[in-house]
Amino acid sequence: MSTFSLHPHLASGTHPLGHLHGCRILLKDHAQFPWILIVPEVPEPIEDLHELDDVQYAAVTQLIRSISQWMSESFQPTKMNVACIGNQVRQMHVHLVARSEDDPAWPGTVWAYSGKQPYHPEKIREVQDAFSAAFPVEVI
């Protein structure tokens, strides 16, 4: 089996939160939207949830549920958006985005929003610490 390598586009636009159940957990560097990526460390050409074996599928969907619950409690969004799209970056990854009616892109998509603002380093650390307190992560 080949060594897992995070796609450069995913790596360049995120901050690591940890490693859980064979997945990298990343904070998207887009401060207006609490946005987390779950990136299963699976071999290519796996791109979609239905392609995972039963054990991997159970682990990823449980992570989606657990992290979505944590995001709901932490950020109090109006709506949790969950997507495994991969049209631009084919490496399998799942987006979890906590949306609120007062966010600058509401009710449109976060992908189409052009006013990106990166996180301040102190806020990144705050989210990393809160995530680590909620989940038994391995540092990546």
The CATH-assigned architecture of domain 8-107 is 2-Layer Sandwich (3.30)
pLDDT of residue 86: 86
pLDDT of residue 3: 79
pLDDT of residue 67: 98
Q: How many CA atoms lie within 13 A of 62 on its CB side?
A: 11
pLDDT of residue 137: 75
Residue 105 has phi, psi (to 5 degrees) of -105, -5
Please say whether the beta carbons of 6 and 42 come within 8 A.
Answer: no
- Please state the pTM of the whole predicted model: 0.94
CB atoms within 10 A of CB 37: 21
Q: DSSP string covering 33-49, please?
A: S-EEEEEE---TT--SG
Q: CA nearest 81: which of 30, 134, 35?
A: 35
pLDDT of residue 1: 47
Using alpha carbons, list the distances in angstroms from residue 80 to 32, 96, 126, 134, 138: 14, 7, 21, 18, 25
Q: What is the block-wise mean pLDDT of the chain (140 residues), using blocks of 10 residues?
A: 84 95 96 97 93 96 98 97 92 97 95 93 97 84
Cα(138)–Cα(134) distance, integer angstroms: 12
**Structure tokens given for 124:** 């990144």
pLDDT of residue 2: 57
